[in-house]
Structures are given as C-alpha cells and as structure tokens.
Amino acid sequence: MAHFVYLLACADRSIYTGYTTDPERRVHEHQSGKGAKYTRSRRPVRLLAYRECPSKGAALSLEHRVRHLNAAQKRRLAHDPTAPWPGEQGTDT
C-alpha cells in the first residue's frame, strides 16, 4: 500500500497538509465536505502537490514536519517539483 503526504490550496488561500493512501479519493472527500473539518469551510480546494513515502510511519512523520512549515515554504514545495521536502537530502529539517 502506498502512503502520501499532500498539500491542498483552499479557497481562503491557506494551504492544508494531510496524509492519505489515495490522493484522488481524499481530494474528492475534501471537495464534497467529507474531509477534514478545516477544509469544510474553505472549499473549493485544489491539490497542489503530494509526495509518496515508503511507509505509513514515514508519511506521518513527513506530514508533521510539513505542517510546521510557514505558508511560503509550503508554496515552494507546491510550485517547485525539485524542491526537497523536509527531511529529504538538502534540507535542515
């Protein structure tokens, strides 16, 4: 089973970070109001980026590190596919 960390752009210009095993399904859940409480009042949402992880533990750890980034750092991850995500080689976190 694959594990992913994903970034969503919300209607209020905030960026939501989450974990899933199926990014397409999860975005659909957020879009339909059945996702996280945070995104229910911030629809529509749009998938910005996602990263596959080797295990659930690795994905949850990455999700935690990404959640602690500021909005500019999250936008960089979303818009630069070559940017390393936290914990990947070339980052301090």
CATH assignment of the domain containing 60: 3.40.1440.10
Domain presence at residue 12: yes
Domain presence at residue 44: yes
Burial of 70 (0-12, 13-18, 19+ CB in 10 A): exposed
Q: Structural domain tally of the chain?
A: 1
Query: pLDDT digits over 23-80, tens only?
Result: 999 999 999 999 999 999 999 999 999 999 999 999 999 999 999 999 999 999 999 9
User: Is the predicted pLDDT of residue 91 greater than 60, yes or no?
Assistant: no
pLDDT band with cut points at 50, 70 and 90 for residue 90: low
pTM: 0.92
Domain presence at residue 86: no
Domain carrying residue 45: 3-79
Distances (CA, A) of 6 to 11, 17, 36: 16, 6, 13
User: Is the predicted pLDDT of residue 88 greater than 90, yes or no?
Assistant: no
Instruction: Pull the structure tokens for residue 30.
Output: 């957020």
Domain presence at residue 52: yes
Q: Which residue has the higher pLDDT, 92 or 57?
A: 57
What is the number of other CB atoms lying within 10 angstroms of the CB of residue 56?
13
